[in-house]
């Protein structure tokens, strides 16, 4: 309390005493004994009331004991089963949970990880991928600035994500690795990696690259081959030794027929080889007759053009050409889409030709755009040119229904630059991105699409979207989100197919270790997206004829179904709308690839290095009791007594109100008992 508050309390006490004395001491009509009682009660009541009005604050100190945290991360991937250590993991987990000394020393939290990190409820050892680095990073962030040694129970075999061995160490979060499996390496040949294009063009050769590795001490020779059905399409002999233990095989295969072509790459196993599952890999290529040709027309050089090239070319079904307006005019008829980047007067002849050919266009505008020229060209949009720069952001329109687009974080991307002024689109259109300035809607569109009399078009008003592609990578460690967004725009604009009330999007083939999703959009009779419909998909396996039905779930402005539970094979499917005579059919193939089966033993070296550089230690599963003992005796992990000081206002002390109620009630009762008013 401050000196000023103490002074107020003293004054309150004096005033309370004076008032009580005046009421019951000065010319009191009551007996002396009653006057003293009434005066004391009134003094207490008034003093308590004044204290509440002054509301002084008091400091209170609370002592608490904080135990160190112990996050236990348990590998739930299917490789645990292939190494036959699942029962051992269950036993170790049970022993940890029942260890009274460990639970008394640490605040223990259990997690399981595979594809993702989650709280431990049960262990299935069925997850198809392992992301150790991402799981460790999540635990680090969860226990930031706390003493929290990490107990990692894993075989160390990672299939996704960055290398966990080089995870940044933290002083208060050492990692203790409990290694599942042994370090004995038997002779093993494996196809470490296989790279091929997803698409190939008919009557062309497509490249394939395979990296084959060998573990062993002796010099061996094996045969590498690629088969399609019963036919061998490529074969060669490979020599290995202890020094020459990795060979890259590069070759080409012919694309002889349209459709999905499935191949099997195989390295002949050794006589004493234990794990032969990793000796072969299946891959597929979709052979297409022609690509979608896009031309990007520009008269200036800008980083946006590089971002466009990368995004468009990320899909091998598309071919992109960059040209000046004069160069584009020479072969304009061969393109399905013309992208016009920041048009100016040099585009005059090109616009005259496009008005005759009625080709689909995508106009990208910015600070170098000549809006006076564009406004004269009678385009479906108008904007006054002011020569003043404005930074604008794009807000995703959740009601956009022309085609399925996922919000990739548009609202958090860096602002784009455009000319100040109101943009108006003069034909029926849909806004995909709404323009915002400093968080407020301007009423103008940033990105809009339209279909006017069978001719599709789009306008994106804002330059600098190369930063969006870079930011997308920073957010997700992948360009895929931004590239897919550009790809969806290209796919819509490059096609003139009549719009259907039910649109279904899917890949022609999937690998079983990757997400398998199918999306759909359903529109009512006025072609407005209908989010109240009930959609389902019926799938039939071509070989077994087994039929499976799944509902499609609403996600933003499209319906989605996850099909990762399906077995490998080719499926015919039909997506239908309940109570409507509308359906769409198609086909896709799931290529079997169990990446978790590729490992023959634990990755002991990496787990030991991880433990060492984080100031922890590594133990084999058989030594788990020694690990527990060392955790209990490690002086770095001590219970800490913490003192917390709180400033508590007197008004929060409800006992004072109780005292006031008691004194007033006592005074009233004594008065009534003595027959006084």
Return the structure tokens found at 117. Answer: 């990190």
Bridge-based pairing state of the strands 430-437 and 440-452: antiparallel
Residues 418 and 385 both lie in one domain: yes
Q: What is the pTM for the complete model shown?
A: 0.62
Tens of pLDDT along 450-498?
988 888 999 999 999 999 999 999 988 889 899 999 998 998 898 876 6
Q: Lowest-pLDDT range, 99-103, 203-207, 240-244, 385-389?
A: 385-389
Residues 276 and 347 both lie in one domain: no
Q: Is the pLDDT of residue 388 over 70?
A: yes
- Res. 655 pLDDT band, cuts 50 70 90: confident
Q: Does 644 reside within a domain?
A: no
Residues 376 and 473 both lie in one domain: yes
Q: What is the pLDDT of residue 120?
A: 92
- How confident is the model over 512-532, as a mean pLDDT? 82
CATH of the domain at 573: 2.60.40.10
What is the 3-class SS of 32-55, one letter each residue? Answer: HHHHHHHHHHHHHHHHHHHHHHHC
Query: Is 137 in contact with 101 (CB distance < 8 Å)?
Result: no
Q: Give the HSE-up count for residue 478: Cα atoms under 13 Å, Cβ half-sphere.
A: 10
DSSP state of 332: G
Query: Is 447 in contact with 459 (CB distance < 8 Å)?
Result: yes
Q: Among 486, 483, 460, which Cα is nearest to 472's?
A: 483
H helices, E strands: number in the chain: 15, 36
Cα angle value 314/198/257 (rounded, 5°): 130
Q: Is the pLDDT of residue 447 over 90?
A: yes
Query: Is 563 in contact with 556 (CB distance < 8 Å)?
Result: no
Return the structure tokens found at 205. Answer: 């050769």
| Secondary structure class of 69 (helix, strand, coil) | strand
Residues 217 and 177 both lie in one domain: no
Report the alpha-carbon distance of residue 506 to residue 436 in Å, rounded: 33
Cα angle value 511/516/518 (rounded, 5°): 135
Domain span holding position 98: 68-181+603-638
- Res. 638 pLDDT band, cuts 50 70 90: confident
Q: What is the pLDDT of residue 252?
A: 93
| Secondary structure class of 163 (helix, strand, coil) | coil
Last residue of a domain, one of 493, 510, 526: 493
Report the alpha-carbon distance of residue 67 to residue 637 in Å, rounded: 8
- How confident is the model over 377-384, as a mean pLDDT? 87
Return the structure tokens found at 534. Answer: 């009930």
CATH of the domain at 462: 3.40.50
Cα angle value 323/326/328 (rounded, 5°): 45
Report the alpha-carbon distance of residue 387 to residue 366 in Å, rounded: 11
Q: Does 279 reside within a domain?
A: yes
Residues 347 and 422 both lie in one domain: yes
Q: What is the pLDDT of residue 76?
A: 92
Q: Does 340 reside within a domain?
A: yes
| Secondary structure class of 10 (helix, strand, coil) | helix
Q: Does 63 reside within a domain?
A: no
Report the alpha-carbon distance of residue 368 to residue 353 in Å, rounded: 23
Distances (CA, A) of 30 to 23, 35, 446, 565: 11, 6, 86, 91
Q: Among 515, 496, 508, which Cα is nearest to 586's?
A: 508
- Res. 183 pLDDT band, cuts 50 70 90: low
Domain total of the chain: 5
Residues 44 and 73 both lie in one domain: no
Q: Is the pLDDT of residue 35 over 70?
A: yes
Last residue of a domain, one of 288, 303, 334: 288
Residues 243 and 299 both lie in one domain: no
Report the alpha-carbon distance of residue 571 to residue 457 in Å, rounded: 35
Q: Does 96 reside within a domain?
A: yes
The position carrying tokens 């396996």 is 541
- Res. 26 pLDDT band, cuts 50 70 90: low
Last residue of a domain, one of 288, 322, 340: 288
What is the 3-class SS of 369-415, one letter each residue? Answer: CCHHHHHHCCCCEEECCCCCEEEEEEEECCCCCCCCCCCCCHHHCCC
Return the higher-pLDDT residue of 68 and 647.
Answer: 68
Q: What is the pLDDT of residue 73?
A: 95
Q: Does 365 reside within a domain?
A: yes
Non-local CB neighbours of 673 within 8 Å, separated by 6+ positions: none
Q: How big is the chain by its Cα radius of gyration, in Å? A: 37
Average pLDDT, the chain: 87
Tens of pLDDT along 316-328?
888 899 999 999 9
Q: How far is CA 478 from the centre of its chain?
A: 11
Q: Does 584 reside within a domain?
A: yes
Report the alpha-carbon distance of residue 106 to residue 100 in Å, rounded: 10
Determine how many CB atoms are found less than 10 A away from the CB of residue 371.
Answer: 21
Residues 222 and 253 both lie in one domain: yes
Q: What is the pLDDT of residue 401?
A: 77
Return the structure tokens found at 45. Answer: 């009541």
Q: Is 237 exposed, middle or buried (0-12, 13-18, 19+ CB in 10 A)?
A: exposed
- Res. 677 pLDDT band, cuts 50 70 90: low
Residues 369 and 460 both lie in one domain: yes
Partners of residue 393 on adjacent β-strands: 436
Residues of the chain with pLDDT > 70, as a percent, come to 98
Residues 198 and 299 both lie in one domain: no
**Cα Dmax for the chain:** 123
Partners of residue 277 on adjacent β-strands: none
Report the alpha-carbon distance of residue 85 to residue 79 in Å, rounded: 9
What angle separates helix 624-633 from helix 86-98, to the nearest 10 degrees?
Answer: 30
Residues 403 and 304 both lie in one domain: yes
Q: What is the pLDDT of residue 526?
A: 65
Distances (CA, A) of 12 to 7, 8, 16, 18, 484: 9, 6, 6, 10, 73
CA dihedral 363, 365, 369, 371 (to 10 degrees): 70
Q: What is the pLDDT of residue 413?
A: 92
Bridge-based pairing state of the strands 259-267 and 220-228: antiparallel
CA dihedral 585, 400, 319, 296 (to 10 degrees): 160
Q: What is the pLDDT of residue 386?
A: 79
Tens of pLDDT along 341-366?
999 999 999 999 998 888 999 999 99
Report the alpha-carbon distance of residue 376 to residue 362 in Å, rounded: 18
Q: Is the pLDDT of residue 128 over 90?
A: no
Return the structure tokens found at 16. Answer: 């309370």
Query: Is 560 in contact with 573 (CB distance < 8 Å)?
Result: no
Query: Is 509 in contact with 588 (CB distance < 8 Å)?
Result: yes
Dihedral sign for Cα 632, 633, 636, 638, please: positive
Q: Lowest-pLDDT range, 426-430, 437-441, 583-587?
A: 437-441
Q: Does 659 reside within a domain?
A: yes
Distances (CA, A) of 76 to 92, 205, 675: 14, 41, 82
Q: Is the pLDDT of residue 674 over 80?
A: no
Residues 456 and 377 both lie in one domain: yes
Which uninterrupted H or E stretch holds 604?
Answer: helix 604-613
Q: Is the pLDDT of residue 242 over 90?
A: no
Tens of pLDDT along 599-618?
777 888 899 999 999 999 99
76 φψ region: left (φ > 0), alpha (ψ -120 to 50), beta (else): alpha
CATH of the domain at 144: 3.40.50.410
């Amino acid at each position: 309390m401050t000196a000023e508050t103490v002074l107020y309390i003293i004054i309150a006490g004096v005033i309370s005493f004076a008032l009580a004395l005046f009421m019951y001491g000065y010319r009191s009509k009551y007996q002396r004994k009653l006057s003293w009682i009434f005066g004391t009660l009134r003094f207490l009541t008034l003093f308590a009331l004044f204290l509440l009005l002054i509301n002084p604050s008091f400091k209170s100190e609370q002592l608490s004991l904080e135990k160190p945290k112990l996050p236990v991360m348990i590998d739930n991937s299917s490789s645990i089963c292939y190494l036959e250590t699942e029962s051992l993991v269950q036993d170790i987990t049970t022993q940890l949970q029942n260890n009274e000394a460990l639970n008394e020393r640490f605040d223990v939290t259990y997690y399981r990880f595979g594809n993702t990190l989650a709280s431990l409820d049960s262990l299935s050892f069925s997850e198809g991928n392992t992301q150790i680095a991402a799981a460790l990073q999540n635990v680090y962030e969860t226990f930031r600035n706390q003493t929290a040694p990490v107990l990692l129970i894993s075989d160390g075999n990672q299939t996704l994500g960055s290398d966990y061995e080089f995870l940044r160490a933290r002083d208060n979060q050492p990692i203790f690795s409990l290694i599942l499996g042994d370090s004995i390496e038997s002779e093993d040949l494996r196809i470490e990696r296989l790279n091929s294009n997803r698409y190939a063009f008919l009557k062309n050769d497509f490249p394939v690259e395979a990296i084959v590795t060998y573990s062993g001490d002796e010099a061996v020779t094996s045969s590498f081959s690629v088969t399609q059905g019963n036919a061998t399409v490529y074969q060669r002999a490979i020599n290995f030794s202890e020094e020459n233990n990795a060979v890259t095989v590069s070759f080409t295969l012919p694309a002889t027929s349209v459709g999905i072509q499935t191949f099997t790459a195989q390295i002949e196993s050794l006589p004493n080889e234990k794990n032969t599952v990793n000796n072969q890999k299946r891959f597929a290529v979709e052979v297409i007759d022609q690509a979608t040709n896009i031309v990007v027309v520009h008269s200036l050089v800008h980083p946006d053009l590089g971002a466009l090239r990368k995004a468009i070319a990320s899909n091998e079904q598309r071919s992109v050409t960059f040209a000046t307006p004069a160069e584009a005019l020479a072969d304009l008829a061969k393109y399905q889409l013309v992208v016009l980047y920041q048009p100016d007067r040099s585009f005059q002849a090109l616009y005259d030709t496009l008005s005759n050919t009625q080709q689909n266009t995508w106009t990208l505008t910015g600070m170098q755009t000549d809006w006076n020229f564009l406004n004269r060209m009678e385009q479906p949009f108008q904007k006054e040119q002011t020569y003043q720069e404005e930074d604008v952001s794009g807000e995703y329109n959740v009601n956009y229904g022309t085609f399925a687009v996922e919000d990739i974080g548009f609202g958090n991307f860096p602002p784009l630059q455009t000319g100040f002024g109101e943009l108006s689109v003069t034909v029926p259109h849909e806004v995909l991105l709404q323009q915002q300035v400093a968080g407020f809607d301007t009423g103008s569109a940033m990105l809009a699409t339209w279909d006017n009399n069978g001719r599709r078009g789009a306008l994106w008003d804002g330059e600098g979207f190369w930063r969006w592609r870079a930011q997308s990578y920073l957010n997700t460690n992948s360009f895929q989100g931004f590239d897919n967004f550009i790809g969806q725009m290209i796919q819509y604009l490059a096609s003139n197919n009549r719009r259907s009330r039910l649109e279904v999007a899917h890949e022609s083939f999937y690998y079983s270790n990757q997400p398998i999703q199918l999306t759909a959009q359903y529109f009512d009779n006025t072609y407005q997206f209908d989010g109240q419909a009930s959609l389902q998909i019926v799938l039939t396996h071509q070989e077994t004829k087994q039929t499976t039905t799944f509902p499609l779930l609403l996600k933003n402005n499209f319906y989605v179904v996850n099909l990762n539970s399906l077995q490998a094979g080719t499926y015919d499917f039909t997506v239908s709308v309940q109570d409507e005579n509308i359906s769409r059919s198609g086909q896709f193939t799931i290529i079997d690839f169990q990446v978790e089966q590729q490992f023959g033993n634990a990755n002991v070296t990496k787990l030991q290095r991880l433990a060492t550089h984080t100031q922890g230690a590594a133990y084999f599963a058989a030594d788990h009791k020694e690990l527990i003992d060392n955790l209990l005796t490690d002086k770095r992990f001590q219970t800490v007594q913490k003192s917390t000081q709180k400033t508590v206002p007197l008004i929060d002390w409800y006992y004072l109100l109780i005292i006031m109620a008691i004194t007033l009630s006592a005074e009233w009762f004594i008065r009534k008992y003595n027959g006084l008013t």
